[in-house]
Amino acid sequence: MDSHVIDYKIHGDDLQTVAIELDPNETVIAEAGSMNWMDGGISFEAKMGDGSEVNSSFMNKLFSVGKRVLTGESIFLTHFTNIGSGKKEVAFAAPYPGSIIPIDLKEVNGEILCQKDAFLCAAMGTNVSIAFNKRIGAGFFGGEGFILQKLRGNGLAFLHAGGTVVKKELNNETLLIDTGCIVAFTNNLDYNIEKAGNLKSMIFGGEGLFLATVKGTGTVYLQSLPFSRMADRILQNAPKMGGKSKGEGSVLGGLGRMIDGDNF
């Protein structure tokens, strides 16, 4: 299915919102709860599936719902359609501070892989599914885990990332990255996990036990402030309960911070 052709404008610098302009009968799909405002004349409905397969059977839709459950997202996507006679606007934003990345899927060979909570919204016709990470090390210790989101189509899709976003173009190169800082990458790149230097550097260097490696030729999007890192800092500085903050006193919590590249 060809994606609907939509126009957009991104508002703000660090706490961004994307406003989508819809012509009559155009539709944008979005994660539940991400809408900020919309003009009168836009109809919205929560549906199972992304609508990319118009004649999809009930079993196919059920299978699609099952895949979204694995990512921890809502089983529904909300469809916003302009049922009026002129152009209408609907805007979306993520629930934590960061930047919005517009992706023209035609420019990335029709497909991109992203961390499972990065998808914000996309033109109708975009297929939102999952991809399993085939590398055991990357699955256990990578910021994305075993399950990634896969976006396919020929239209616009919008991702959300924490903090500032940096776009890197690799030309048969290797990039070492903190495991939580990868937002998305094209499917022609090889993603894996490597240990972070020698034992002394791994324990005392503050960069965590492992680093992600991205190799090959393609595009990778990075974020300066992963939500997990921000949440961890908030927990460390939360009001103490019984002499300890909620994040203290847990061996597993400490190990998690080492893996993520955070200091104790």
CA distance 29 to 32: 9
Q: Torsion-angle region of residue 110: left (phi > 0), alpha (psi -120 to 50) or beta?
A: left
CA distance 75 to 64: 9
Whether residues 26 and 143 share a domain: the answer is yes
SS3 state of residue 18: strand
Residues 232 and 191 in one domain: no
Is 232 within 8 Å of 262 (Cβ atoms)? Answer: yes
Asked if 69 and 179 sit in the same domain, the reply is yes
CA distance 190 to 214: 6
Integer Cα distance of 188 and 108 in angstroms = 10
Given the structure tokens 């991702």, which residue do they identify? Answer: 159
Q: What is the pLDDT of residue 262?
A: 54
**Residue (of 135, 216, 155, 142) closest to 183 by Cα position:** 142
**CA atoms 56, 59, 60, 65: torsion sign:** positive
Do residues 216 and 238 both lie within one domain? no
Q: In terms of domains, do 18 and 119 share one?
A: yes
In angstroms, how far is the first alpha carbon of the chain from the final one? 50
Residue 118 lies in a domain: yes
Q: Which of 128, 111, 258, 249 is nearest to 188 (CA)?
A: 111
| Within-domain flag for 242 | yes
Structural domain containing residue 62 = 7-223
Q: What is the pLDDT of residue 18?
A: 96
Task: Please provide residue 214's backbone torsions phi and psi, each rounded to the nearest 5 degrees.
Answer: -120, 125
* pLDDT recorded at residue 146: 52
| 164 and 231, same domain (yes or no) | no
Residues 15 and 141 in one domain: yes
Q: Give the pLDDT confidence score for residue 72 in this predicted structure.
A: 55
Instruction: Check residue 148 and give its pLDDT.
Output: 82
Strand-pairing partners, residue 119, are 159
Tally of domains within the chain? 2
Task: Give residue 177's pLDDT.
Answer: 86
For residue 138, give the CATH number of its domain.
3.60.160.10
215 in the same domain as 92: yes
Residue type, 156: L
- pLDDT tens-digit profile, the chain (264 residues): 688 999 999 998 878 999 999 999 999 999 888 999 999 999 999 887 777 765 555 555 555 555 555 555 567 889 999 999 899 999 999 888 889 999 999 999 999 998 878 899 999 999 988 876 655 444 444 444 457 889 999 999 999 998 889 999 999 999 988 878 889 999 899 888 776 655 555 455 445 567 788 899 999 999 988 776 666 667 777 765 445 544 444 444 554 555 455 554
- The confidence score (pLDDT) of residue 60 equals 58
Whether 184 and 101 have beta carbons less than 8 Å apart is answered as yes
Same domain? For 162 and 236 the reply is no
DSSP SS3 for 136: helix
The tokens for 59 are: 């079993």
In a domain, 2, yes or no: no
Assigned domain for 110 exists: yes
In a domain, 1, yes or no: no
Q: Which pLDDT belongs to residue 16? A: 92
pTM, entire model: 0.76
> What is the per-residue pLDDT for 130?
81
Burial class (CB in 10 A: 0-12, 13-18, 19+), 54: exposed
Q: Would you call 68 helix, strand, or coil by DSSP?
A: helix
**How far is it, in rounded angstroms, from Cα 80 to Cα 144?**
29
